[in-house]
Structure 1
Amino acid sequence: MKLFNDTFTALERSLDYSSAKNRAISDNIANVDTPGYKAKNVVFKDVLNRELSTLPAKRTDPRHIDFQRGHESSYRTMTRPGTTYNHNGNNVDIDKEMNDLAQNQIYYQALADRMNGKFRSLQSVIKGGN
């Protein structure tokens, strides 16, 4: 028997993704002046594909998305090669990183608030609505 439903699992995975993204952004900010450092980015496509593959969907038309085919099971942290913003070979754009950090913090806080709401609802049910 599953104690928690899929909503808790999806929220937990989303929090993990946001944490990994925060680590990558923090690494980028910390290495803004490191010669030759290439910025990291967490790829969301893999997370989306994993979630899509778990949807209980039936393909009724060949033009529909195939939800059951296999996908990689985790997100990836990748470097962004091929660009250089500084004279030392570094490609960290501090303005972009600070913007990404602010967006990710808002996203993480919204997920945490949603998770807390789910636990409050569960607590209310356990206490009998009191």
Structure 2
Amino acid sequence: MDLNILNLASALARHASARQQVISENVANADTPGYRARDIRAFGELVDTGPAFEAKRTRPGHVAFGSTINGFEPELSAGFGAETPNGNSVSLEDQMMRGAEVQQAHGLAIGAYSKSLAILRSVVATR
């Protein structure tokens, strides 16, 4: 069995987690003047390129650099007409819709991962 499905499901779960973190930061700053809503590119767009580079720290004195949220880089992203007079671009309705998308993606990732592990267990049990 090709284990790439497990890697793909794991990457989708990490993507959903990172996106949920960005969405929660947007919601937390919904009333902050000048705050700009952010989001992470769709998982499908990132599959070929992989997550953003993040350097590995092998000693405590090393400086971390690269991406900051599970290897995925957030970008500015606001719904059309969401900007308020104080410069804030967070629309709570838009963020709730994005949160629902994240919940579905995470459920898909966990389901694929669980089913793949069940198949592997059944193969091992029959040998």
Superposition TM-score, scaled by structure 1 size: 0.70
What residue is the counterpart of 2:121 in the other structure? 123
The answer for unaligned runs of 5 or more in structure 1 is 52-70
1:36–1:90 Cα contact (<8 Å) kept: yes
Q: Pick from 93, 96, 108: which aligns with 2:94?
A: 96
Cα distance per residue 1:21-50 (max 9 Å; x no partner)? 111111111111111111111023751332
Distance 1:32 1:99, change over 3 A: same
Matched residues, number = 107
What residue is the counterpart of 2:29 in the other structure? 31
Runs of 4+ in 1 over 3 A off after TM superposition: 71-75
What residue is the counterpart of 2:49 in the other structure? 50
- The structure showing larger relative contact order (alpha-carbon pairs under 8 Å, at least 6 residues apart) is 2
Distance 1:84 1:94, change over 3 A: closer
**Using the alignment, how far apart are the partners of 2:11 and 2:77 within structure 1?**
24
The answer for unaligned runs of 5 or more in structure 2 is 54-70
Superposition TM-score, scaled by structure 2 size: 0.72
The 5 A counterparts of 1:34-113 are 34-44=32-42, 47-50=46-49, 75-80=72-77, 85-113=83-111
RMSD: 2.7
